[in-house]
Amino acid sequence: MALKDQITDDMKTAMRAKDSERLATIRLLLAALKQKEVDERIELDDVAVVAVVDKLIKQRKDSVEAFTKAARQDLADKEAAEIVVLQGYLPARLSTEEVKAAVQAIVASLGASGPGDMGKVMGAAKAQLAGKADMGQVSAAVKAALAG
């Protein structure tokens, strides 16, 4: 079953269960998916759906940080709950060690050395690890690999 179909089925299940928080988050996700499809006039595949989910999670994390700084714990908790729901649609993530090993392999295959090759390595890493790892974590691993 396609990921988008799974999300739609989960929305129906949340409606039946009267789980309003989960339902609101799933509707928000479906709206973001529909917006991307309309804007780009394409049908989203699972990879594109994962990219949208990743983007929404990043936005939520930024919001949690901002709300925490502003002493609005109620809003931070709401955003954190949305993150939990959204993370259910991501594939299993690579561990820190697996990310480091993948980055080391990419650096070796490209023959990259030094911070000047950061863009080249990140481009290859993004193509290979998109959806499988947090790109912030990948970026840190690339910096560490090129610095050492």
Q: Which domains does the chain have, with CATH numbers?
A: 3-87 (1.10.1510.10), 96-147 (1.10.10.410)
Query: Quick check: 148 pLDDT over 70?
Result: no
Tell me the pLDDT tens digit for each residue of 44-77.
888 888 889 989 999 999 999 999 999 999 999 9
Cα–Cα dist 136/145, whole Å = 14
pLDDT attached to residue 15: 95
CA distance 138 to 60: 19
Rounded to 5°, the CA angle 116-118-119 comes to 105
* Whether pLDDT at 23 is above 90: yes
| pTM (predicted TM-score) | 0.74
Average pLDDT over residues 9-27: 95
56 Cβ partners below 8 Å, 6+ apart? 28, 29, 32, 86
Q: What percent of the chain has pLDDT over 90?
A: 51
Q: How confident is the model at residue 144 (pLDDT cuts 50, 70, 90)?
A: confident
Q: What is the pLDDT of residues 115-137, one digit of tens each?
A: 777 888 888 888 788 777 877 88
Structure-derived torsion over alpha carbons of residues 116, 119, 125, 127, reported in degrees to the nearest 10: -150
Q: Check residue 12 and give its pLDDT.
A: 95
